[in-house]
Amino acid sequence: MALPDATRYYIDGQWTDPVSARMAEVVDPATASPVAPIALGSAADAERAILAARRAFPDWSNSSVALRLDLLRKILAGLIARKDEIGDAISAEMGAPTALARSAQAGSGPQHFAEVIRVLESYEFSQAMGTTLIRREPIGVCTLITPWNWPMNQVATKVAPALAAGCTMVLKPSELAPLDAVILAEIIDEAGVPPGVFNLVHGTGEDMGATLTGHPEVDMVSFTGSTRAGIAIGENAAKTVKRVSLELGGKSAVIVLPDADLDRAVTDSVSGCMFNSGQSCNAGTRLLVPADRLEEAKAAARTAAQACDIGPIANKAQYGRVIGMIEGAIAEGAELVAGGPEKAEGQTGYQVAPTVLASVTPDMTVAREEVFGPVIAIMTYDSVEQAIAIANDSPYGLSGYVWGADRAEAGRVAASLRTGMVHVNGAGLDSAAPFGGYKMSGNGREWGVYGLEEFLEVKSVFGGVEANS
């Protein structure tokens, strides 16, 4: 199968060559071999896309909801029709096994577009509050910067609500995983979205990030990625007081309460952490179990880890970080229960075995820093209140997990966690509910109506509603 062409940019409704670019390769992490070229652009390319979005904003911001819904439905149909092709591109660019890439990875695009369509069909952009009219209006030109771990998911959670809100945009996907975004751009073009409303460029943060996040014609930046990069983006955007929405890192804790089915809780937690090779910001990577059940938890975790069948780490740099974190944890005194840093014989890509560590204490690096790989750390507690304190003792606050037979107690513990999301007894994500975190896990929310409203400004029109006589 021919992979999408990432040497072209989509700007102002046209496929075009970059103004100035250097060539690089998209690498398949399963083999560590290049699979497609990519043209990494410059500040000039970013500005060209931003100005196209600015020119398109007046008309698009005043477009009818009916028109936006029609175009969103056409994009949704295109995503569904090309789902396997998108999945194959994702598999090639970031290593997800074909089954995962074609299902959860590629399927997340239609999922989020469908939810935005559902929201938009009944959303009220204005409402009366006494004699004041409250209007919600599109914020303007938006820069959308997305990562490599769930590429289509993160693109869809930004592009769909931005289009629905009436915003225009410049999308810069990760230069490590750009291919699925090219397919989306083709679908958007075929759907008939007006020129300049959606623009696609490729490049690194070093080459075009400052322009994309600091340009005076950009009104909002929506970024998903590392906390370090999010801080830099926030600082740059602050110079022109832009709205900044950040979905950043996590170090989520799983609390297995004393009355929980420990085998089920540990097995589910390990398999959930290893999903997508551990490369999910909301993964439960700290597994807190009662101290008197540690050996039972270790046995269950070892069995679960050995049963996991995962793909490689998505790129060479991240592979090196994951291996270094495992080695560092062992050097600090952690016990290796399963997996480890050694590569299996005959492996040529960036594979890391599902790894379980025990004897992990809250001060260890692996308990405090995001690994972003298939690594889970078992920690112990003596009381539920201590477990809550350990879980909250983190600069991050994205997600949390609680397992317990007493739902009222599980709910109390969930309410005590300083995180933007909590899963109780294995409950899954809900695309209508807000996704985002507290503290250094970011600000703002994505998904559903909350994601739409990130792209809307609020205006009070005093006297905009006639008083009752």
What is the average per-residue pLDDT within 58-81?
98
Q: How far apart are the first and last CA of the chain?
A: 69
Burial class (CB in 10 A: 0-12, 13-18, 19+), 284: buried
Has residue 42 got a pLDDT over 50?
yes
At residue 468, the pLDDT reads 75
Query: Residue 469 has what pLDDT?
Result: 43
CB burial class (10 A; 0-12, 13-18, 19+) of residue 344? exposed
pLDDT of residue 346: 72
278: left (phi over 0), alpha (psi -120 to 50) or beta: left
Instruction: Out of 85, 175, 247, 446, pick the active-site residue.
Output: 247
Question: 20: pLDDT confidence band, cut at 50, 70 and 90?
Answer: confident
Question: Could you tell me where the beta strands, DSSP code E, fall in 159-202?
Answer: 168-172, 198-200
Q: Give 177-199 pLDDT, tens digit per residue.
A: 999 999 999 999 999 999 999 99
What structural domains does the chain harbor? Answer: 9-248+441-461 (3.40.605.10), 252-430 (3.40.309.10)
Is residue 370 predicted with pLDDT exceeding 60?
A: yes
Q: What is the pLDDT of residue 467?
A: 85
* 281 in active site: yes
Q: Residues of the chain with pLDDT > 70: what percent?
A: 99
**Phi, psi at residue 204, to the nearest 5°?**
-95, 165
Tokens of 39: 């043209």
What are the tens digits of pLDDT across the range 197-208? 999 999 999 999
Confidence of residue 438 (pLDDT cuts 50, 70, 90): very high
What is the reported pLDDT for 343?
Answer: 80
Alpha-carbon span 152 to 183, nearest angstrom: 10
Tell me the angle at which helices 151-165 and 106-122 cross, rounded to the nearest 10 degrees: 20
How high is the pLDDT of residue 347? 78
pTM of the model: 0.96
Q: What is the pLDDT of residues 302-349, one digit of tens each?
A: 999 999 999 999 999 999 999 999 999 999 999 999 999 998 667 789
Residue 158 near residue 448 (C-beta atoms within 8 A)? no
Mean pLDDT within 270-287 = 98
pLDDT in tens, 4-18: 999 999 999 999 999
Active-site position among 142, 167, 273, 281: 281
* Tens-place pLDDT, residues 415-430: 999 999 999 999 999 9
- Please tell me the total number of residues recorded for the chain in this structure: 469
> 78-93, pLDDT tens digit by residue?
999 999 999 999 999 9
- What local confidence, expressed as pLDDT, does residue 354 receive? 97
Beta strands in 305-352 (DSSP E): 335-340
**pLDDT tens digits, one per residue of 151-165:** 999 999 999 999 999
Distance from C-alpha of 87 to C-alpha of 65, rounded to nearest angstrom: 30
Active site (annotated) includes residue 167: no
User: Above pLDDT 90, what percent of the chain?
Assistant: 97
**Per-residue pLDDT, 255:** 99
Angle at 107 between CA 102 and CA 109, to 5 degrees: 130
Q: 233-271 burial by CB neighbour count: b if 16+ within 10 A, else e?
A: bbebbeeeebbbbbbbbbbbbbbbbbebebeebbbbbbb
Place of tokens 């507690």: 381
Q: Is 17 helix (H, G, I), strand (E, B) or coil?
A: coil
With the CA atoms of 289, 290, 296 and 297 taken in that order, what torsion angle do they form, in degrees rounded to the nearest 10?
Answer: 0
Give residue for tokens 């090309």: 82
179-191 vs 65-81: helix axis angle to the nearest 10?
130
CB atoms near residue 127 (< 10 Å): 11
277 against 343, higher pLDDT = 277
Q: How large is the average pLDDT for residues 257-269? A: 98
